[in-house]
Amino acid sequence: MPPENHPIPRDQPHGNQAGKRPRIGRHLPGHIEAALLRAGEGADSAGQPWSGRDLTGDGNPLHNFDADDGGPDPSYVAATAALKEGTGDEQAVHRALAHARVFVPVIATLAEGGIGDHGFTEDKEADMALVTIKAPDGRPALPVFSSVDRLHSWHAQARPVAVYAPRAALSAVAEKAQLLVIDPGADLTFVLRRPAMWALAQQREWTPSYEDTGLVPVLQSAAAADPAIVALTAAPGRGVASRSADGTVVPGGGPGPELRIEVTLAPETGREQVTAILQRLQLALGSNAEFAARVDSLELGLQGPMRP
């Protein structure tokens, strides 16, 4: 059974802190900073709730996506629904995200105050920070949301900044995140693993490693280099699948392991040799730049008889 990845725990905001106003998001990715500045510095001075707002027209408090009601992108909804029904796949979700608007959560934090020129304590000033979280395996991840309501259900104080999903992926890269997590805490949390996230950031098509025929020569070369290995077979890893809130297994959107390689060993291989063989294989694959770029996470399995 795949490990559960729903929901991914919320972590405290950290990383890229901004300087004094109006330099909001001084260290935020440029497109996030620009969106905040266009959106009245990311805050509603009237204290009106974000959920259910009319987001159209000039001076809109969230973003410049005219005629946007803050709801989920229809193509993303359709792609994830097909995935849950078993008629879609991860690639279709990735293709939908290539043109989808999402919301990046930004938190207003307080910078440290200090003593001013005249000896008086100065007020703390508001900074802005992207929110990052940790995946179950400890890797840093950037959360994004398909709708304003889902963002606010996850973190009521977060300010939604609307960007296209490729821009959000660029933000994840800038934050040195390994994963892009869509709708943590929702009915379905979908995770883009590192190769998919990078492909989205570069606006390229993405093929999951377990379906990537370009890896066949790499695996063939690795098998040929070790006489104890008869064959290597690629398959989806246990961590490709995810679970919806009701426990239904969904064939995609999990955080990894992404790729499972079944290793068939020569019949004369002794059990005491197995560990060394697998270590050599992992080293060979891990040192291959093409394999490392296309594969997020790996697990190995054994096939075939072995002598005692």
* Highest mean pLDDT out of 4-18, 47-61, 96-110: 96-110
Query: Does the model's pTM come out above 0.85?
Result: no
pLDDT, one tens digit per residue, over 255-275 is 989 999 999 999 889 888 999
Centroid of chain to Cα 158 = 18
pLDDT of residue 136: 85
pLDDT-based confidence at residue 107 (cuts at 50, 70, 90): confident
- The more confident residue out of 305 and 275 is 275
* Highest mean pLDDT out of 19-28, 111-120, 138-147: 138-147
Residue with tokens 């040195």, as numbered in its chain: 176
Q: Where are the domains of the chain?
A: 30-201, 209-303
What topology does CATH give the domain 30-201?
A: Trna Endonuclease; Chain: A, domain 1 (3.40.1350)
Mean pLDDT, rounded, for 229-236: 95
Mean pLDDT, rounded, for 203-222: 96
Q: Is 123 exposed, middle or buried (0-12, 13-18, 19+ CB in 10 A)?
A: exposed
What topology does CATH give the domain 209-303?
A: Alpha-Beta Plaits (3.30.70)
d(CA 188, CA 183): 7
pLDDT of residue 120: 52
- The more confident residue out of 297 and 52 is 297
